Amino acid sequence: MRKIDRERIERVARIYGSNKAAGAALGITPSSFARLCRRYGIQTPYGRKYGQWEPAREEAA
């Protein structure tokens, strides 16, 4: 599986209006796109549209 850069995920999240479209642009499923956004603390298009935003949690050491 290829790694997708954080900058690319941020850009796609800003450009596209849905997780489905953003995931398709990256060649991954919408749920995988949302999971990557949560991992990197990026607001998803869905969250932006419906006002749901919860920053990424700190990983336990």
9-59 pLDDT, tens per residue? 999 999 999 999 999 999 999 999 999 999 999 999 888 787 765 555 566
Contact call for residues 36 and 5 (beta carbons, < 8 A):
no
Where are the domains positioned within the chain? 6-50
pTM recorded for the entire structure: 0.75
What pLDDT was estimated at residue 27? 94
What pLDDT was estimated at residue 58? 60
Q: Judge whether residue 2 has pLDDT over 80.
A: no
CA–CA separation, 2 and 20 (whole Å): 19
